Amino acid sequence: MRVLIVDDHASFRGSARALLLSEGYDVVGEAETGAEAVQLANALRPDLVLLDVQLPDLNGFEVTALLRELDAPPEVVLTSSRDDYAAAVVGTGARGFVAKDALSGKALDALLS
């Protein structure tokens, strides 16, 4: 599965990349902002976008809506260091939510299956 990681913290992007690569995911790119995420998703066509809720320009819910408009929209899993966003994901078009400290291939597989 091809993944685009979107987070404004380079340290999280790096740790998420290492974790996902070690669990068999193909990380095809990283973005720091919502606008960059939409641009890269359109160019790279990932299967999954791991998307931080709080970004400097747009929030993850706004980015999810923009991603849903692409010709080949990727699956979206929202993430945050706060775990109180899980209920807010319903109806957004995202497949689900995983807290940053609970991120794993198994957690993503459960949301995507």
Closest C-alpha to 3, from 91, 87, 81, 98: 98
| Model confidence pLDDT, tens digit, residues 21-46 | 999 999 999 999 999 999 999 999 99
Total domains in the fold of the chain = 1
The secondary structure of residue 86, as a DSSP letter, is G
Q: Which domain holds residue 35?
A: 2-112
Whichever domain contains 14, its CATH number is 3.40.50.2300
Cα 43 from Cα 99, distance rounded (Å): 27
| DSSP tally for the chain: helices H, then strands E | 4, 5
CA 79 to chain centre: 7
| Model confidence pLDDT, tens digit, residues 59-113 | 999 999 999 999 999 999 999 998 777 778 888 899 999 999 999 999 999 999 8
